[in-house]
Each structure stands twice: as C-alpha cells, then as structure tokens.
Amino acid sequence: MKQMFRNISMSLIAFFMLGYSNIAWGQYDEIYRPQYHFSPSKGWIGDPDGLIHYDGLYHLFWWGHAVSKDMVYWEELEYPMVGDPGDFSYFSGSVVVDKNNDAEFGKNSLLAFYTRHFPGDSLPETQAISVSKDGLKFEYYKKNPVLDINEIFFRDPQVFWHEKTKKWVMAVSLPNKQIVQFYGSKNLKDWSFLSNFQGHGVQNSFWECPDIFEVPVLGKKDETHWVLFIGRGPNRVQYFVGDFDGSKFTPHSNIVSYLDKGEGMNAEVFEDFEDIITPKTRSGFLGNMYLDSKNQKDKNIIWESKPFIITKPAINFLISGSDSIDKQSIQLIKDNEVLKEAVGKGDSIFRWKGWDVTKWLGAQVRIRMVNKESSNSIDIALDHIQFSDELQNTNLEHGLWLDYGNDFYAARTWRDYDGKSNRKVMLGWLGNWEYSRTVPTTWGKGFESIPREIMLKESNEGFRLIQNPIDELKKLRGNSFELDITTIDGILDFPKISEFQNTYEMHASFKFDGNAKLEIKLQKGHGRSLILLYDSNTSLFKIDRNNTTDASSEKFLEKFKSIMQAPVNMDNGILNLKVFVDRSSVEIFTQDGEKVFSVLTFPGQDQTEVSMTSEGEKVTITKLKVWKLNSIWDKNRNN
C-alpha cells in the first residue's frame, strides 16, 4: 500500500510537470530574468520553504511549488495550498514527510507547516499545517492552529525529525524579541515548549527564518556539528555552530567568546574600554563596556589615546552614533594633523569600520574622540580598537555572517527523506527587503540563489562554514574560454566572455607579488559596471555597485546603490574566485567558499563586457577559465 501511494503521487507530479512545462515555455527570456536561477513564471517569490528531497525529487515551496530531479532544472507546479478560510497570508515554513503516520493523516503524508499572518498585524501570528496525500495539493487542517502563544510576531516554523530523542522538533522565532524557540511533538499536532536561544550574535533587528541541522566537517569523516541559521532582517543571515541535544541548542564556547568578546580575531587589541563605566544604551559592543560621548559634550576632546607607533596596515574599531563629521567623529592624529576620520550611521548600533594606515607605518599617532558642536543631540561611541593585517571595514555588526553581499536572505537547507545523501545543501532568497518591492522587473519579483553545498572548516577561531556551488550545475556548461598565465599590464579586455551574454561561470586565480590592487569590472558598458576590488596589503575585498544598473527609479536606487566589503585572506599570495553571473545577479565565492558575496545588479542588456587592471606590484593571472552556462528553461534540454 505504501509503495502504491508513492507511485501514484510521483506519477501525478510527473503529469503536472509535463503539462505546466509546455504552458510555461516562452515566458523566461524577459529583461533581467535569470537563466539558471529558479524564478516562478510570474508573481512573487521570497523565502525558500519546504525544502525536502523525497522519492527522487527535490521540492521547493514559496507557497507556490516547484520540483526538480537535480536542483538545477525546475518545473513549476500548480498552486498547492487549498481549503483555507482566506483571511490570512501564508508566511514562511517547512514541509515534512510523515513516514510513520505520527499525525494519523496516513503514512507518507506530507505536512506543510507555516505561519498564519493576519493583515496589519491585527491578530497574533500562529503556526498551522496543511496536509497532502499526493504531493500536489495541501489541504488546510480544520483544527488549526497547532501552536499559538498569543504573540503578534511569532513565525517561520522549521520542523524536522530528531532521531536520537525520537521526536519532531520545531524551531520558530519571536522576531522582535530576538529569540528562537524550540518545541517538541510526538504527533506533529500537539507541541510542547523545550527551550529558548537568545543573547548572542547580532540582536538589533528582527530574527526570522530559523533553521537548525547537522553539518559535516571538511576532511573529517563522520564528524558533524550542529549549525543554527537565523535571518537578521532585512537582508542578512547569521549562523552559530554548536550542539543540539533534541531540546536545547548550545553554541560552542569559542563561538560565544568570538561573538561576545571578539576573541580569536586576527588582530591585536589596543583598547577595549573595559575599565570605563558607561550606561548601556547601545547594541553590538564587545565585552562589558564601551566609550560613549554621552554627557560629555562640554568637552572638545572627549577622549584621547596614549601615543602609539603604527606597526600594522589596518586599524579597526567598532563605532556607533553620529553620522556627521561636522559634529562628532573619531580621528587619527599625527602631530595635531588629522590623518583619518570616521563616524557611525546615526543610530545606536555598533558596526565595524577601519582605516588603511599603510602610508604611515612607523609613525607615532593617537586616536581621538572629538565633539565639534556642543548643541548636537546625537552622541558617538567607540569600542574595541585593534591593529591588524586585515582591514575590517565592513560597516557590519560583529557576527558570523553567511554572506557578505547585500542580497542573500532566509537561507534554508534540504532535508533528505530518501536517506541517500550525507551532504548538506542550502538555498537562499536573492533579495533585500529594503528594495525588494521596487526592483525593475516586469515578469515578477524575486528569485532564488544557486544551491550551495555547505561544510564546516576547522580554524584557529573554531569552526566556520564554507559554501560552494553544487556540482550538478556543471551540466549547464557550454562553450568555454581559457587564458594562459598572464601578467596584468594595463587594461585587459575579454571579448570572448562578453559573447556569453552575462550567463557564465568564471574560475580565476591571481598571484600577488607584494602589495598590489586588482580591479575587475563585470557587466561593463555605457559607463556602467559592477566593480570588484582587492587590496593585497589589507586583504580587503570590495564590491562597488554604485553605478551598475540601467534602472532609473530614484526610489529603487536610493537603497540599491551601495558598497560591500570584507577581508579575504589569500593562500600563499593567491586569490581564488568562483564567479557566477546570471543576467541580473552575481554570486562570488572567494577562497574555496570561505567568504561569499551575493549581489543583485540589473544591468542593461548590452552591459556584457569584462575587464581587469591592477596597480602597484605585479599581479599575475595564474588561472582563468570561463564557461557559458546554458538556460535551465531551454525547451530542448534533456533532463
């Protein structure tokens, strides 16, 4: 009986796949439409939901539904959610396969868990289920909700089976309180509270879309550790590595030390302000204290460091508060001359900033906090000054970030109900809530990232996630271009890459002989481009998106124009890049996935040129190979 049900359901899915594919073909070549990232034929797609692998098919829900045999070629199915009263919106969630009939809806029933969200936050959010017998239609459960704690913000259930404790576990968030809660159940309908996770990481905005799972360790057979994902609105994912006993998630001690105190960073701490008593009105500082200008506006020089000799190329610090250099700032001073100056973003959140001080190596300097306007109502604050070989000028809060681009959110992982795979693959939304509703697309709004395999890599700082594109994407490779070892002298143009029309995969390695800067321009044309910059002296990788798109909406461009940057450490003087360009997006995997940048671009259709240049000491291209990637929507594909 079990096998009969499975055969029938998979046959039905195959039938609907065939029918829908024939209807949908021809809709996938619009301006800005990605060619190898999944996007629905029309309408909205955001957070990936219900990622399961079952009976040989990968499922992707966004409360739409698509299936794939390989996570590359996708078929969109009919809208799956039926029978609801129509008074709420489906918010993010997950899908499970009830193989043992724990919920008594029938063996191998599929249960979709999601948040019921009511218009205008008028009623508490609750967790609900819909049930499917065929994998196509999910019928609303008449006794919903299955979990209600009377909270307006309570969302995004991720449900999975915990084998050691023989129970179902739900991870769900209280976004405005920065809490992830865990609940347990034997029957998928009655849930009991297990524990809270809170108090670590970045806590200044909504926590959403939690996921928790085991991840293998690179190079160590059979060793795994638990990883917790938390979406930090509007556009980032932070992660934690630790242990999960079926009830409680406990981050590793070195993860806690890194997040709470900054321990393990590749830097020398010059001043941590732990001996200063300060009212704690800000978030994101390290340790217990920080320096604040509050109640000290009668002073012109609020604080000044002892003199020191610059011995490292970078000075990094956490800064909060004033965003006006004319009012308050942090200064680097040499003989009463201001060499560098920095301000915050006008809020109470600490973020990393830094100065490249290479040109003053060996000089004696001081750091000052200064007040320039006594009537100013905004304060400035400073914490954790450090000297380093890496410029930590990210303008991000101190955390473990999954992606350093501006457009990767709500990452979730596939659960394998076929029991045939030990790898862990995740998918994210290539989007940003700051402008997701104003992107210049006419065919719909949003698309997903390429699927990425994730592993843990052991380092002096503890375990860190690395991520790389799944191998299955290689089947899309078409014509290729390869360059022999070449020293960059002047501007190198690559007309062969331009022929690939912004749908390609690039593997590149660069050898730096000493201090040099590399510039790569992608999607170049009409004076516009996406600019990638790398400075070998400070290890800073920078992406400049200020003049990339041909879109003209001021509302869209206000937040879209941006610079993204993070330190990327070379391996014996070699910078390795894997770059995936797909019309309106670029995903960059540095150093075998140690740092990743996901960026929306929306260039003009003829912005297809690529160029490279360098300055300083010699930069050599030791490897460059580029493949045209064929469209997953090609009607002649053999899937």
Catalytic site includes residue 47: yes
pLDDT digits (tens, 9 = 90+) for 86-120: 999 999 999 999 999 999 999 999 999 999 999 99
Pick the catalytic residue: 47, 156, 292, 383?
A: 47
DSSP 365-409: EEEEEEE--TT----EEEEEEEEESS-----S-SS-BS--SSS-E
**Residue 9, pLDDT score:** 55
Instruction: Give dist(CA 101, CA 404) in Å, integer.
Output: 42
Distant-in-sequence, close-in-space partners of 9: CB < 8 Å, separation ≥ 6: 55, 133, 134, 135, 136
Q: Is the peptide bond before 157 cis (omega within 30 degrees of 0)?
A: no
Q: What's the CATH fold of domain 2-259+402-457?
A: Tachylectin-2; Chain A (2.115.10)
At the top level of CATH, the class of 268-388 is: mainly beta
Q: Which CATH code fits 470-629?
A: 2.60.120.560
What is the maximal distance between C-alpha atoms in the chain?
A: 85
Instruction: Give dist(CA 511, CA 576) in Å, integer.
Output: 9
Q: Where in the chain is the domain with CATH 2.115.10.20?
A: 2-259+402-457
Instruction: Give dist(CA 545, CA 530) in Å, integer.
Output: 6
Q: Where are the beta strands (DSSP E) in 474-594?
A: 477-483, 486-487, 492-493, 503-512, 516-525, 528-535, 540-544, 563-567, 574-582, 585-590
Question: Which portions of the chain are predicted below pLDDT 70?
Answer: 1-26, 297-298, 374-377, 635-639
**Residue 2, pLDDT score:** 33
Q: Are strands 308-309 and 337-342 parallel, antiparallel or unpaired?
A: unpaired
Q: Where in the chain is the domain with CATH 2.60.120.260?
A: 268-388
